Amino acid sequence: MPIDIAARVLANRPLSSDYNVLALAAPAIAAIATPGQFVMVKANAGADPLLRRPFSIFEILRDARGDVTGITILSKRIGVSTSLIYDAREGQRIDCLGPLGRPFTIVEPPTHACMVAGGVGLAPFATLAQALRARRVTSTLFYGARSAAELFYLDFFRDLGVELLLTTEDGSLGERGRIVAPLDRRLAGMPASTGVMIYACGPEGMMAATAKTAMKYGRPCEVSVERVMGCGLGGCYSCVVPMRGADGVVHNVRSCIAGPVLPGDQIQWD
Amino acid sequence: MDLSVHIGALTLKNPLIAASGCFGYGVEYADVVDLSTLGAIVSKGLFLKAREGHAAPRIVETPAGMLNAIGLQGIGAQRFIDEKMPELRARGATVIVNVCGTTIDEYVEVSRMLADTEGIVAIELNISCPNIKEGGIQFGCSLNGTFDVVSAVRKVTRLPVIPKLTPNVTDIASFARSAEEAGADAISLVNTFLAMVIDVETRKPKISNGMGGLSGPAIRPIAVRMVHECRQAVKIPILGMGGITNARDALEFIIAGANAVQIGTANFVDPFIWPKLLDGIRDYGQRHNIARVSDLVGTVARSHD
Protein backbone atom coordinates (compact mmCIF):
# COMPACT_ATOMS: atom_id res chain seq x y z
CA MET A 1 0.00 0.00 0.00
CA PRO A 2 1.45 3.36 -1.00
CA ILE A 3 2.07 6.02 1.62
CA ASP A 4 1.80 9.78 1.17
CA ILE A 5 4.38 11.75 3.12
CA ALA A 6 4.92 15.50 3.30
CA ALA A 7 8.63 14.74 3.23
CA ARG A 8 11.19 17.18 4.53
CA VAL A 9 14.05 17.92 2.13
CA LEU A 10 17.15 16.57 3.89
CA ALA A 11 19.57 17.77 1.23
CA ASN A 12 19.60 19.01 -2.33
CA ARG A 13 22.80 18.29 -4.19
CA PRO A 14 23.22 19.76 -7.67
CA LEU A 15 25.21 17.48 -9.96
CA SER A 16 25.28 19.92 -12.89
CA SER A 17 23.33 22.90 -14.16
CA ASP A 18 20.41 20.53 -14.92
CA TYR A 19 20.76 17.47 -12.70
CA ASN A 20 20.25 17.26 -8.96
CA VAL A 21 19.79 14.65 -6.27
CA LEU A 22 17.08 15.45 -3.76
CA ALA A 23 17.08 13.65 -0.43
CA LEU A 24 13.67 13.28 1.20
CA ALA A 25 12.81 12.18 4.73
CA ALA A 26 10.41 9.38 3.86
CA PRO A 27 11.43 6.39 5.99
CA ALA A 28 8.09 4.61 5.65
CA ILE A 29 8.47 4.63 1.87
CA ALA A 30 12.16 3.72 2.01
CA ALA A 31 11.44 0.76 4.30
CA ILE A 32 9.25 -1.06 1.79
CA ALA A 33 10.58 0.14 -1.59
CA THR A 34 12.12 -2.36 -3.99
CA PRO A 35 14.39 -1.64 -7.00
CA GLY A 36 12.48 -0.21 -9.97
CA GLN A 37 9.64 1.31 -7.97
CA PHE A 38 8.78 5.00 -8.13
CA VAL A 39 7.25 7.85 -6.18
CA MET A 40 4.82 10.60 -7.26
CA VAL A 41 6.22 13.94 -6.16
CA LYS A 42 4.76 17.45 -5.88
CA ALA A 43 7.12 20.22 -4.84
CA ASN A 44 4.59 23.04 -4.60
CA ALA A 45 1.38 23.69 -2.75
CA GLY A 46 -1.62 24.82 -4.79
CA ALA A 47 -2.77 24.21 -8.31
CA ASP A 48 -0.02 25.49 -10.58
CA PRO A 49 1.62 23.19 -11.42
CA LEU A 50 -1.22 20.88 -10.45
CA LEU A 51 -0.14 17.29 -10.90
CA ARG A 52 2.54 15.21 -9.25
CA ARG A 53 5.48 13.94 -11.26
CA PRO A 54 6.84 10.39 -11.27
CA PHE A 55 10.44 9.75 -10.19
CA SER A 56 12.29 6.47 -9.83
CA ILE A 57 13.55 5.89 -6.31
CA PHE A 58 17.27 6.56 -6.73
CA GLU A 59 18.84 5.69 -3.37
CA ILE A 60 17.63 4.41 -0.01
CA LEU A 61 19.11 6.55 2.78
CA ARG A 62 20.24 5.05 6.06
CA ASP A 63 21.56 6.52 9.28
CA ALA A 64 24.73 5.45 11.11
CA ARG A 65 22.88 2.52 12.71
CA GLY A 66 21.70 1.32 9.33
CA ASP A 67 18.06 2.29 9.82
CA VAL A 68 16.28 3.71 6.77
CA THR A 69 15.69 7.45 6.90
CA GLY A 70 14.50 8.32 3.43
CA ILE A 71 15.03 8.20 -0.29
CA THR A 72 16.68 10.27 -2.96
CA ILE A 73 15.44 11.09 -6.42
CA LEU A 74 17.61 11.93 -9.42
CA SER A 75 16.06 14.76 -11.43
CA LYS A 76 16.87 16.51 -14.67
CA ARG A 77 15.53 20.03 -15.00
CA ILE A 78 13.22 20.16 -18.02
CA GLY A 79 10.05 22.04 -17.11
CA VAL A 80 8.38 23.89 -14.26
CA SER A 81 8.04 20.92 -11.91
CA THR A 82 11.62 19.73 -12.33
CA SER A 83 12.80 23.33 -11.84
CA LEU A 84 11.02 23.33 -8.48
CA ILE A 85 12.80 20.06 -7.67
CA TYR A 86 16.11 21.58 -8.74
CA ASP A 87 15.59 24.68 -6.62
CA ALA A 88 14.15 22.91 -3.54
CA ARG A 89 15.61 24.09 -0.26
CA GLU A 90 16.65 22.03 2.73
CA GLY A 91 13.82 21.84 5.27
CA GLN A 92 11.11 22.42 2.65
CA ARG A 93 8.24 19.87 2.54
CA ILE A 94 7.58 17.94 -0.63
CA ASP A 95 4.62 15.60 -1.12
CA CYS A 96 5.89 12.15 -1.86
CA LEU A 97 3.54 9.21 -2.61
CA GLY A 98 4.91 5.71 -2.91
CA PRO A 99 6.40 3.26 -3.34
CA LEU A 100 4.48 2.57 -6.54
CA GLY A 101 4.66 0.20 -9.46
CA ARG A 102 6.06 -3.17 -10.34
CA PRO A 103 9.80 -3.57 -9.62
CA PHE A 104 12.61 -5.28 -11.50
CA THR A 105 12.96 -9.06 -11.37
CA ILE A 106 16.19 -9.65 -9.51
CA VAL A 107 18.14 -12.54 -10.95
CA GLU A 108 20.29 -15.10 -9.14
CA PRO A 109 23.88 -16.20 -9.88
CA PRO A 110 25.31 -17.38 -12.17
CA THR A 111 23.15 -15.12 -14.39
CA HIS A 112 25.03 -11.92 -15.24
CA ALA A 113 23.16 -8.60 -15.11
CA CYS A 114 23.56 -5.92 -17.79
CA MET A 115 22.10 -2.57 -16.69
CA VAL A 116 21.67 -0.14 -19.59
CA ALA A 117 21.18 3.51 -18.60
CA GLY A 118 20.75 6.64 -20.68
CA GLY A 119 20.98 10.06 -19.01
CA VAL A 120 18.56 10.47 -16.13
CA GLY A 121 17.60 6.84 -16.78
CA LEU A 122 20.41 5.99 -14.37
CA ALA A 123 17.92 6.50 -11.54
CA PRO A 124 16.57 2.97 -10.91
CA PHE A 125 19.98 1.30 -11.13
CA ALA A 126 21.57 2.41 -7.86
CA THR A 127 19.20 0.30 -5.75
CA LEU A 128 19.17 -2.47 -8.36
CA ALA A 129 22.98 -2.68 -8.31
CA GLN A 130 22.89 -2.98 -4.51
CA ALA A 131 20.25 -5.71 -4.63
CA LEU A 132 22.23 -7.63 -7.28
CA ARG A 133 25.41 -7.36 -5.24
CA ALA A 134 23.59 -8.62 -2.15
CA ARG A 135 22.79 -11.73 -4.15
CA ARG A 136 26.35 -11.93 -5.48
CA VAL A 137 25.17 -11.41 -9.04
CA THR A 138 27.95 -9.99 -11.25
CA SER A 139 26.86 -6.93 -13.18
CA THR A 140 27.84 -4.43 -15.83
CA LEU A 141 26.49 -0.89 -16.14
CA PHE A 142 26.30 0.35 -19.71
CA TYR A 143 25.85 4.07 -19.17
CA GLY A 144 25.53 6.68 -21.88
CA ALA A 145 25.10 10.44 -21.79
CA ARG A 146 25.73 13.47 -23.96
CA SER A 147 29.10 14.23 -22.36
CA ALA A 148 31.40 13.32 -19.48
CA ALA A 149 29.85 16.09 -17.36
CA GLU A 150 26.53 14.20 -17.43
CA LEU A 151 27.84 10.85 -16.23
CA PHE A 152 27.23 10.68 -12.50
CA TYR A 153 27.79 8.34 -9.56
CA LEU A 154 30.48 6.32 -11.31
CA ASP A 155 32.33 5.68 -8.04
CA PHE A 156 29.10 4.54 -6.39
CA PHE A 157 28.80 1.74 -8.93
CA ARG A 158 32.57 0.97 -8.94
CA ASP A 159 32.44 0.58 -5.15
CA LEU A 160 29.70 -2.02 -5.57
CA GLY A 161 31.96 -3.96 -7.91
CA VAL A 162 29.91 -3.09 -10.97
CA GLU A 163 31.81 -3.15 -14.27
CA LEU A 164 31.35 0.18 -16.05
CA LEU A 165 31.09 0.65 -19.81
CA LEU A 166 30.56 4.29 -20.68
CA THR A 167 29.65 6.12 -23.85
CA THR A 168 29.26 9.83 -24.57
CA GLU A 169 27.83 11.41 -27.67
CA ASP A 170 30.78 13.84 -27.83
CA GLY A 171 33.43 11.26 -26.94
CA SER A 172 34.53 13.19 -23.84
CA LEU A 173 34.50 10.02 -21.75
CA GLY A 174 34.35 6.36 -22.71
CA GLU A 175 33.41 5.33 -26.21
CA ARG A 176 31.94 7.92 -28.59
CA GLY A 177 28.41 7.11 -29.67
CA ARG A 178 25.36 5.35 -28.30
CA ILE A 179 25.28 2.89 -25.45
CA VAL A 180 23.65 0.09 -27.43
CA ALA A 181 26.86 -0.49 -29.46
CA PRO A 182 28.95 -1.87 -26.58
CA LEU A 183 25.93 -3.82 -25.32
CA ASP A 184 25.55 -5.47 -28.70
CA ARG A 185 29.24 -6.43 -28.77
CA ARG A 186 29.09 -7.83 -25.26
CA LEU A 187 26.02 -9.95 -26.00
CA ALA A 188 27.55 -11.14 -29.30
CA GLY A 189 30.59 -12.39 -27.42
CA MET A 190 28.67 -14.31 -24.77
CA PRO A 191 28.17 -18.05 -25.12
CA ALA A 192 24.53 -19.11 -25.08
CA SER A 193 25.21 -21.15 -21.96
CA THR A 194 25.94 -17.96 -20.00
CA GLY A 195 22.78 -16.58 -18.47
CA VAL A 196 22.20 -12.85 -18.94
CA MET A 197 19.47 -10.48 -17.79
CA ILE A 198 19.25 -7.02 -19.34
CA TYR A 199 17.70 -4.07 -17.52
CA ALA A 200 17.20 -0.75 -19.34
CA CYS A 201 16.06 2.77 -18.51
CA GLY A 202 16.51 5.93 -20.53
CA PRO A 203 15.21 7.75 -23.59
CA GLU A 204 12.56 5.91 -25.60
CA GLY A 205 14.85 5.32 -28.60
CA MET A 206 17.58 3.89 -26.41
CA MET A 207 15.17 1.53 -24.66
CA ALA A 208 13.70 0.39 -27.97
CA ALA A 209 17.18 -0.29 -29.35
CA THR A 210 18.16 -2.13 -26.16
CA ALA A 211 15.03 -4.27 -26.23
CA LYS A 212 15.58 -5.12 -29.90
CA THR A 213 19.23 -5.96 -29.27
CA ALA A 214 18.19 -8.27 -26.43
CA MET A 215 15.67 -9.96 -28.70
CA LYS A 216 18.33 -10.37 -31.41
CA TYR A 217 20.41 -12.44 -28.99
CA GLY A 218 17.43 -14.17 -27.40
CA ARG A 219 18.06 -12.54 -24.02
CA PRO A 220 15.42 -11.39 -21.51
CA CYS A 221 15.13 -7.64 -21.06
CA GLU A 222 13.19 -5.54 -18.59
CA VAL A 223 12.74 -1.84 -19.35
CA SER A 224 11.63 0.86 -16.95
CA VAL A 225 9.44 3.11 -19.07
CA GLU A 226 8.74 6.77 -18.52
CA ARG A 227 5.38 8.15 -19.59
CA VAL A 228 3.40 11.29 -18.88
CA MET A 229 1.62 10.13 -15.77
CA GLY A 230 -1.38 11.71 -14.07
CA CYS A 231 -1.88 9.75 -10.88
CA GLY A 232 0.50 6.79 -10.55
CA LEU A 233 -2.27 4.54 -9.22
CA GLY A 234 -4.09 3.35 -12.32
CA GLY A 235 -6.90 5.89 -12.13
CA CYS A 236 -6.33 8.15 -15.11
CA TYR A 237 -5.16 5.89 -17.98
CA SER A 238 -2.62 8.49 -19.16
CA CYS A 239 0.59 6.49 -19.02
CA VAL A 240 -0.28 3.64 -21.36
CA VAL A 241 2.23 1.60 -23.33
CA PRO A 242 1.11 -0.53 -26.29
CA MET A 243 1.95 -4.13 -25.45
CA ARG A 244 1.33 -7.43 -27.19
CA GLY A 245 -0.76 -9.56 -24.88
CA ALA A 246 -0.95 -13.33 -24.48
CA ASP A 247 -3.73 -13.23 -27.11
CA GLY A 248 -1.28 -11.79 -29.65
CA VAL A 249 -3.25 -8.55 -29.78
CA VAL A 250 -1.76 -5.16 -28.87
CA HIS A 251 -3.39 -3.56 -25.82
CA ASN A 252 -2.72 -0.24 -24.12
CA VAL A 253 -1.34 -1.10 -20.70
CA ARG A 254 -1.05 1.32 -17.79
CA SER A 255 2.66 1.63 -17.05
CA CYS A 256 2.00 2.89 -13.50
CA ILE A 257 0.53 -0.39 -12.25
CA ALA A 258 1.60 -2.97 -14.85
CA GLY A 259 5.04 -1.26 -14.86
CA PRO A 260 7.04 0.91 -14.83
CA VAL A 261 9.20 -2.19 -15.33
CA LEU A 262 7.88 -4.06 -18.36
CA PRO A 263 9.17 -6.92 -20.52
CA GLY A 264 10.92 -5.24 -23.45
CA ASP A 265 9.96 -7.88 -25.99
CA GLN A 266 6.23 -7.34 -25.48
CA ILE A 267 6.24 -3.58 -25.99
CA GLN A 268 5.14 -2.41 -29.42
CA TRP A 269 8.08 -0.08 -30.14
CA ASP A 270 7.42 2.52 -32.87
CA MET B 1 -24.43 17.20 10.31
CA ASP B 2 -26.59 14.74 8.39
CA LEU B 3 -24.57 14.19 5.21
CA SER B 4 -27.00 11.88 3.41
CA VAL B 5 -28.11 12.67 -0.12
CA HIS B 6 -31.26 11.51 -1.90
CA ILE B 7 -31.33 10.87 -5.63
CA GLY B 8 -34.73 9.51 -6.54
CA ALA B 9 -35.21 6.41 -4.41
CA LEU B 10 -31.47 6.18 -3.83
CA THR B 11 -29.83 7.40 -0.62
CA LEU B 12 -26.09 8.08 -0.53
CA LYS B 13 -24.37 8.22 2.85
CA ASN B 14 -22.58 11.44 1.92
CA PRO B 15 -22.32 13.81 -1.05
CA LEU B 16 -18.81 12.79 -2.18
CA ILE B 17 -18.65 10.81 -5.40
CA ALA B 18 -15.57 9.70 -7.33
CA ALA B 19 -15.99 11.01 -10.89
CA SER B 20 -15.99 8.76 -13.94
CA GLY B 21 -12.66 8.42 -15.68
CA CYS B 22 -10.76 9.67 -12.66
CA PHE B 23 -11.01 6.62 -10.41
CA GLY B 24 -10.38 3.71 -12.77
CA TYR B 25 -12.90 1.00 -11.95
CA GLY B 26 -12.61 1.80 -8.25
CA VAL B 27 -10.64 -1.35 -7.44
CA GLU B 28 -7.41 0.50 -8.26
CA TYR B 29 -7.99 2.68 -5.20
CA ALA B 30 -9.15 -0.02 -2.80
CA ASP B 31 -5.79 -0.06 -0.97
CA VAL B 32 -5.71 3.72 -0.60
CA VAL B 33 -9.32 4.60 0.21
CA ASP B 34 -11.96 2.71 2.16
CA LEU B 35 -14.40 2.59 -0.75
CA SER B 36 -17.35 2.09 1.58
CA THR B 37 -16.80 5.58 3.04
CA LEU B 38 -17.54 7.35 -0.26
CA GLY B 39 -21.04 8.45 -1.18
CA ALA B 40 -20.51 6.55 -4.42
CA ILE B 41 -17.96 5.80 -7.08
CA VAL B 42 -18.67 6.20 -10.79
CA SER B 43 -17.01 3.63 -13.02
CA LYS B 44 -14.93 4.47 -16.02
CA GLY B 45 -17.11 4.74 -19.12
CA LEU B 46 -18.44 1.38 -20.29
CA PHE B 47 -19.35 0.44 -23.84
CA LEU B 48 -20.66 -2.92 -24.94
CA LYS B 49 -17.19 -3.90 -26.13
CA ALA B 50 -13.65 -3.20 -24.95
CA ARG B 51 -11.85 -0.19 -26.45
CA GLU B 52 -8.13 0.63 -26.58
CA GLY B 53 -8.49 4.42 -26.58
CA HIS B 54 -6.05 6.93 -28.06
CA ALA B 55 -2.27 6.73 -28.32
CA ALA B 56 -0.08 8.46 -25.72
CA PRO B 57 0.51 11.26 -24.87
CA ARG B 58 -2.99 11.43 -23.52
CA ILE B 59 -2.69 14.26 -21.03
CA VAL B 60 -0.92 17.57 -20.73
CA GLU B 61 -0.88 19.91 -17.80
CA THR B 62 -2.32 23.42 -18.19
CA PRO B 63 -2.48 26.39 -15.81
CA ALA B 64 -4.31 25.03 -12.75
CA GLY B 65 -5.69 22.19 -14.81
CA MET B 66 -5.09 19.38 -17.24
CA LEU B 67 -6.17 18.42 -20.71
CA ASN B 68 -6.98 14.79 -21.44
CA ALA B 69 -7.94 12.70 -24.41
CA ILE B 70 -7.86 9.12 -23.17
CA GLY B 71 -10.40 8.01 -25.77
CA LEU B 72 -12.54 5.97 -23.37
CA GLN B 73 -10.20 3.02 -23.14
CA GLY B 74 -12.13 0.39 -21.28
CA ILE B 75 -12.88 -3.27 -20.71
CA GLY B 76 -16.55 -3.18 -21.70
CA ALA B 77 -19.65 -3.86 -19.65
CA GLN B 78 -19.46 -7.66 -19.34
CA ARG B 79 -15.89 -7.77 -18.12
CA PHE B 80 -16.71 -4.98 -15.65
CA ILE B 81 -19.53 -7.10 -14.26
CA ASP B 82 -17.41 -10.25 -14.12
CA GLU B 83 -14.02 -8.88 -13.07
CA LYS B 84 -14.61 -5.69 -11.09
CA MET B 85 -18.04 -5.89 -9.47
CA PRO B 86 -17.22 -8.82 -7.14
CA GLU B 87 -14.42 -6.85 -5.48
CA LEU B 88 -16.45 -3.63 -5.42
CA ARG B 89 -19.30 -5.49 -3.70
CA ALA B 90 -16.88 -7.09 -1.24
CA ARG B 91 -15.43 -3.68 -0.43
CA GLY B 92 -18.86 -2.21 0.21
CA ALA B 93 -18.64 0.36 -2.57
CA THR B 94 -21.77 2.13 -3.78
CA VAL B 95 -21.39 1.81 -7.54
CA ILE B 96 -22.79 4.10 -10.21
CA VAL B 97 -21.90 2.92 -13.71
CA ASN B 98 -21.00 5.34 -16.49
CA VAL B 99 -22.67 4.04 -19.63
CA CYS B 100 -21.45 4.95 -23.12
CA GLY B 101 -22.79 4.19 -26.55
CA THR B 102 -22.33 4.92 -30.19
CA THR B 103 -26.06 4.33 -30.81
CA ILE B 104 -29.16 4.54 -28.64
CA ASP B 105 -29.44 0.76 -28.91
CA GLU B 106 -25.99 0.40 -27.35
CA TYR B 107 -26.88 2.71 -24.44
CA VAL B 108 -30.00 0.64 -23.87
CA GLU B 109 -28.25 -2.70 -24.08
CA VAL B 110 -25.35 -1.71 -21.80
CA SER B 111 -27.77 -0.15 -19.31
CA ARG B 112 -29.91 -3.27 -19.26
CA MET B 113 -26.90 -5.54 -18.64
CA LEU B 114 -25.60 -3.38 -15.81
CA ALA B 115 -28.97 -2.67 -14.21
CA ASP B 116 -29.42 -6.39 -13.59
CA THR B 117 -26.12 -6.58 -11.70
CA GLU B 118 -26.17 -6.72 -7.93
CA GLY B 119 -24.47 -3.76 -6.31
CA ILE B 120 -25.03 -1.20 -9.06
CA VAL B 121 -27.26 1.59 -7.76
CA ALA B 122 -27.55 4.06 -10.65
CA ILE B 123 -26.71 4.68 -14.28
CA GLU B 124 -24.83 7.76 -15.37
CA LEU B 125 -25.23 8.27 -19.11
CA ASN B 126 -22.11 9.56 -20.80
CA ILE B 127 -23.50 11.79 -23.52
CA SER B 128 -20.70 14.28 -23.16
CA CYS B 129 -17.22 12.85 -23.77
CA PRO B 130 -15.50 15.39 -26.02
CA ASN B 131 -12.74 13.04 -27.12
CA ILE B 132 -14.28 10.44 -29.37
CA LYS B 133 -16.05 11.10 -32.63
CA GLU B 134 -18.56 8.32 -32.74
CA GLY B 135 -20.19 8.33 -29.35
CA GLY B 136 -21.84 10.30 -26.70
CA ILE B 137 -21.38 13.91 -27.47
CA GLN B 138 -23.46 13.84 -30.63
CA PHE B 139 -26.37 13.05 -28.31
CA GLY B 140 -25.26 15.45 -25.61
CA CYS B 141 -24.99 18.39 -27.99
CA SER B 142 -28.53 18.03 -29.30
CA LEU B 143 -31.66 18.62 -27.21
CA ASN B 144 -33.52 15.88 -29.06
CA GLY B 145 -30.56 13.51 -28.79
CA THR B 146 -30.39 14.04 -25.05
CA PHE B 147 -34.13 13.46 -24.73
CA ASP B 148 -34.02 10.33 -26.89
CA VAL B 149 -31.13 8.62 -25.07
CA VAL B 150 -32.53 9.36 -21.63
CA SER B 151 -36.06 8.27 -22.44
CA ALA B 152 -34.86 5.07 -24.15
CA VAL B 153 -32.77 4.05 -21.13
CA ARG B 154 -35.51 5.21 -18.77
CA LYS B 155 -37.79 2.54 -20.24
CA VAL B 156 -35.45 -0.38 -19.47
CA THR B 157 -34.42 0.22 -15.87
CA ARG B 158 -35.81 1.20 -12.51
CA LEU B 159 -32.40 2.43 -11.36
CA PRO B 160 -31.89 6.18 -11.23
CA VAL B 161 -30.81 7.46 -14.67
CA ILE B 162 -28.35 10.34 -14.54
CA PRO B 163 -27.22 11.88 -17.85
CA LYS B 164 -23.86 13.63 -17.61
CA LEU B 165 -24.06 16.92 -19.47
CA THR B 166 -21.40 18.61 -21.56
CA PRO B 167 -20.50 22.24 -20.94
CA ASN B 168 -19.66 22.61 -24.63
CA VAL B 169 -23.08 24.05 -25.49
CA THR B 170 -24.49 27.57 -25.47
CA ASP B 171 -27.26 27.01 -22.95
CA ILE B 172 -26.67 24.07 -20.64
CA ALA B 173 -29.93 24.71 -18.73
CA SER B 174 -31.96 23.76 -21.80
CA PHE B 175 -30.18 20.39 -21.83
CA ALA B 176 -30.97 19.95 -18.15
CA ARG B 177 -34.65 20.56 -18.98
CA SER B 178 -34.52 18.06 -21.85
CA ALA B 179 -33.08 15.45 -19.51
CA GLU B 180 -35.70 16.13 -16.85
CA GLU B 181 -38.54 15.96 -19.36
CA ALA B 182 -37.22 12.62 -20.63
CA GLY B 183 -37.44 11.17 -17.12
CA ALA B 184 -33.92 11.61 -15.77
CA ASP B 185 -33.73 11.18 -11.99
CA ALA B 186 -30.77 13.53 -11.73
CA ILE B 187 -28.11 15.18 -13.90
CA SER B 188 -24.32 15.24 -13.62
CA LEU B 189 -22.42 18.32 -14.74
CA VAL B 190 -20.01 19.30 -16.03
CA ASN B 191 -17.95 17.04 -18.22
CA THR B 192 -14.70 18.58 -19.51
CA PHE B 193 -14.36 21.64 -21.71
CA LEU B 194 -13.06 20.96 -25.21
CA ALA B 195 -9.65 22.60 -25.38
CA MET B 196 -6.25 22.51 -27.04
CA VAL B 197 -2.59 22.99 -26.18
CA ILE B 198 0.03 23.49 -28.90
CA ASP B 199 3.80 23.11 -28.63
CA VAL B 200 5.01 26.25 -30.41
CA GLU B 201 8.45 24.76 -31.14
CA THR B 202 7.03 21.86 -33.15
CA ARG B 203 3.60 23.46 -33.84
CA LYS B 204 2.07 20.13 -32.89
CA PRO B 205 -0.73 19.64 -30.36
CA LYS B 206 0.66 18.35 -27.09
CA ILE B 207 -1.67 15.35 -26.94
CA SER B 208 -2.01 12.75 -29.65
CA ASN B 209 -5.71 13.36 -30.24
CA GLY B 210 -5.12 17.04 -30.99
CA MET B 211 -7.88 18.35 -28.79
CA GLY B 212 -8.96 17.16 -25.37
CA GLY B 213 -11.09 17.88 -22.34
CA LEU B 214 -9.99 20.49 -19.80
CA SER B 215 -10.52 19.77 -16.11
CA GLY B 216 -9.19 20.94 -12.77
CA PRO B 217 -9.45 24.17 -10.78
CA ALA B 218 -9.15 26.22 -13.99
CA ILE B 219 -12.73 25.34 -14.96
CA ARG B 220 -14.33 25.61 -11.53
CA PRO B 221 -15.96 29.06 -11.74
CA ILE B 222 -17.57 28.17 -15.08
CA ALA B 223 -18.81 24.85 -13.72
CA VAL B 224 -20.25 26.56 -10.63
CA ARG B 225 -22.11 29.01 -12.87
CA MET B 226 -23.52 26.14 -14.94
CA VAL B 227 -24.70 24.25 -11.86
CA HIS B 228 -26.37 27.43 -10.67
CA GLU B 229 -28.11 27.90 -14.04
CA CYS B 230 -29.32 24.31 -14.09
CA ARG B 231 -30.58 24.59 -10.52
CA GLN B 232 -32.86 27.42 -11.68
CA ALA B 233 -34.08 25.31 -14.61
CA VAL B 234 -34.86 21.89 -13.11
CA LYS B 235 -36.10 20.28 -9.91
CA ILE B 236 -34.19 16.98 -10.15
CA PRO B 237 -30.97 16.52 -8.14
CA ILE B 238 -27.70 17.73 -9.59
CA LEU B 239 -24.33 16.01 -9.18
CA GLY B 240 -21.96 18.94 -9.57
CA MET B 241 -18.31 18.79 -10.53
CA GLY B 242 -15.46 20.73 -12.06
CA GLY B 243 -12.16 21.40 -10.30
CA ILE B 244 -13.15 20.66 -6.70
CA THR B 245 -9.96 20.35 -4.64
CA ASN B 246 -11.12 21.00 -1.06
CA ALA B 247 -14.22 21.18 1.14
CA ARG B 248 -14.74 24.87 0.39
CA ASP B 249 -14.91 24.11 -3.34
CA ALA B 250 -17.38 21.29 -2.72
CA LEU B 251 -19.56 23.58 -0.61
CA GLU B 252 -19.49 26.19 -3.37
CA PHE B 253 -21.06 23.68 -5.75
CA ILE B 254 -23.63 22.62 -3.17
CA ILE B 255 -24.63 26.20 -2.45
CA ALA B 256 -24.84 26.82 -6.20
CA GLY B 257 -27.33 23.97 -6.46
CA ALA B 258 -25.58 20.61 -6.41
CA ASN B 259 -27.07 17.89 -4.20
CA ALA B 260 -23.85 15.91 -4.38
CA VAL B 261 -20.42 16.56 -5.83
CA GLN B 262 -17.99 14.55 -7.88
CA ILE B 263 -14.24 14.69 -7.45
CA GLY B 264 -12.01 13.91 -10.41
CA THR B 265 -8.70 15.59 -11.12
CA ALA B 266 -8.04 16.34 -7.44
CA ASN B 267 -8.02 12.62 -6.74
CA PHE B 268 -5.01 12.29 -9.05
CA VAL B 269 -3.10 14.86 -7.00
CA ASP B 270 -4.22 13.55 -3.62
CA PRO B 271 -5.78 10.08 -3.49
CA PHE B 272 -6.21 10.56 0.26
CA ILE B 273 -8.46 13.58 -0.27
CA TRP B 274 -11.77 11.95 0.75
CA PRO B 275 -11.66 12.08 4.56
CA LYS B 276 -10.25 15.61 4.35
CA LEU B 277 -13.25 16.71 2.29
CA LEU B 278 -15.71 15.09 4.66
CA ASP B 279 -14.04 16.66 7.69
CA GLY B 280 -14.13 20.07 6.03
CA ILE B 281 -17.83 19.78 5.21
CA ARG B 282 -18.65 18.62 8.75
CA ASP B 283 -16.62 21.48 10.19
CA TYR B 284 -18.52 23.97 8.03
CA GLY B 285 -21.82 22.49 9.17
CA GLN B 286 -20.81 22.94 12.77
CA ARG B 287 -19.57 26.51 12.33
CA HIS B 288 -22.74 27.53 10.47
CA ASN B 289 -25.07 25.39 12.53
CA ILE B 290 -26.41 23.45 9.57
CA ALA B 291 -28.27 20.25 10.46
CA ARG B 292 -28.34 18.63 7.03
CA VAL B 293 -26.06 19.13 4.05
CA SER B 294 -29.21 19.03 1.92
CA ASP B 295 -30.29 22.29 3.64
CA LEU B 296 -27.44 24.03 1.83
CA VAL B 297 -28.39 22.99 -1.70
CA GLY B 298 -29.15 25.94 -3.95
CA THR B 299 -28.93 28.52 -1.19
CA VAL B 300 -26.79 31.07 -2.96
CA ALA B 301 -27.67 34.48 -1.53
CA ARG B 302 -28.26 37.56 -3.64
CA SER B 303 -25.10 39.58 -4.01
CA HIS B 304 -24.77 42.86 -2.12
CA ASP B 305 -27.41 41.89 0.44
Structure ipTM: 0.93
State whether residue A161 sits within 8 Å of chain B by CB.
no
Summarised one tens digit per residue, pLDDT across range A123-174 is: 999 999 999 999 999 999 999 999 999 999 999 999 999 999 999 999 999 9
**pLDDT over 90 (residue A246):** no
CA distance B152 to chain A (A): 30
Q: Are B135 and B144 in contact (CB under 8 A)?
A: no
Which superfamily does CATH assign the domain made up of A3-100 to? Translation factors (2.40.30.10)
Amino acid A22: pLDDT = 98
Residue B22 among the catalytic residues:
no
Q: What domains lie within chain B, and their CATH numbers?
A: 5-296 (3.20.20.70)
pLDDT at position B305: 62
- Shortest CB distance from A252 goes to which of B29, B52, B65? B52
Residue spans of chain B under pLDDT 50 = none
Q: Do A233 and B32 count as a contact with CB atoms less than 8 A apart? A: yes
pTM of the model: 0.95
Residue B175 CB: number of other CB atoms within 10 A?
30
Angle of CA points B93, B98, B99, to nearest 5°: 135
Could you confirm whether domain A112-225 is CATH 3.40.50.80? yes
The answer, for A53 touching chain B at a CB cutoff of 8 Å, is: no
Please report the pLDDT score of residue B139 as a whole number: 83
Please report how the helices B143-154 and B104-115 are oriented relative to each other, as an axis angle in degrees rounded to 10: 30
Residue A224 binned pLDDT confidence (cut-offs 50, 70, 90)? very high
Tens-place pLDDT, residues A22-76: 999 999 999 999 999 999 999 999 999 999 999 999 999 999 999 999 999 999 9
Distance (Å, whole) CA A85 – CA A2: 21
**Residues of chain B contacting residue A97, judged by C-beta atoms under 8 Å apart:** 271
- Per CB-CB distance under 8 Å, the chain A contacts of B59 are 228, 230, 236, 238
Give the integer Cα–Cα distance in Å for B104 and B141. 14
Instruction: Chain B: give the shortest CA distance to residue A241, in Å.
Output: 8
Burial class (CB in 10 A: 0-12, 13-18, 19+), A65: exposed
Instruction: Report, as an integer, the average pLDDT of A203-231.
Output: 96
Domain map (residue ranges) of chain A:
3-100, 112-225
Which chain B residue lies closest to A53 (C-alpha atoms)? B269
Q: What is the pLDDT of residue B128?
A: 81
Q: Which of B22, B100, B129, B230 is catalytic?
A: B129
